[in-house]
Structure 1
Amino acid sequence: MSLEELVADIEHTYGEMGESAAVSLDRETRNELALLAAAYEPDELDELVRRGAHMLFQTAVETGNLDFHLRSAYDVTYDEYLSGMTYDEMAGGGGPPDRDDTRRYQF
């Protein structure tokens, strides 16, 4: 996999979701969501789900968990995704530049 494939997968999933996503909840999740709703008193339960997604994303980035999964699946990191290029591309595409050793120390 590659950076281009990651971008394509993200764009595809983003397009499929649209403005809302239907999510099925198990018993434990419903209980936790109900407790959070009682404590935070949001206008809509959707707000708690959005906060949960933001918190999961932030935690995954901060702990390196997102990078681990991205590297495993796409061989890129979140920083590479944000910049739009891999570390190899940032460094010039590979090894050190070719040098003309006969002129190396000439000024």
Structure 2
Amino acid sequence: MTLDALSDDVTAEYGALGEEIAVDLDRETRNELAMLETALEPESTDELLRRAVHMLFQSTVDTGTLDFHLRSSYDVTYDEYLSGMTYDEMTGANQFPQQGDPDDRRYQF
């Protein structure tokens, strides 16, 4: 897959999500959410859930997990997605590809 495929898939998912999502909570999640509500006193439960998504996203970016999954599925990284260009396109490697091993030149006379 490519950077364009990733962009198309993200756009499609964004549209499919809509404005609201109904989520079934298991017992453990409900207990943890109740504790967070009590301790943090947010304006609404929705605010806690938005924060949770932001924290999960940030931790997957920081640990490299997001890049791992993007590289596995789309052969791009999150930085490449944000810039709209692959590293090869940024550095011009696609314009001047190396033939074979670049160290081969040292043996040519």
Assess same fold via TM > 0.5: yes
Letter aligned with residue 24 of structure 1: D
Residue 87 of structure 1 is matched in structure 2 by 87
TM-score, with structure 2 as normaliser: 0.82
Extract unaligned runs of 5+ from structure 2. 99-109
Residue 63 of structure 1 is matched in structure 2 by 63
Letter aligned with residue 12 of structure 2: H
Residue 20 of structure 1 pairs with residue 20 of structure 2: yes
Letter aligned with residue 26 of structure 1: D
Q: Does the residue aligned with 1:49 lie in a helix, a strand or coil? A: helix
Residue 104 of structure 2 is matched in structure 1 by none
Residue 43 of structure 1 is matched in structure 2 by 43
Letter aligned with residue 19 of structure 1: E
Q: Does the residue aligned with 2:10 lie in a helix, a strand or coil? A: helix
How many residue pairs get aligned? The number is 98
Residue 75 of structure 2 is matched in structure 1 by 75
Distance, in Å, in 1 between the alignment partners of 2:12 and 2:69 is 19
TM superposition outliers: structure 1 runs of 4+ over 3 Å:
95-98
Letter aligned with residue 31 of structure 1: N
Q: CA RMSD in A?
A: 1.7
Distance, in Å, in 2 between the alignment partners of 1:45 and 1:21 is 13
Extract unaligned runs of 5+ from structure 1. 99-107
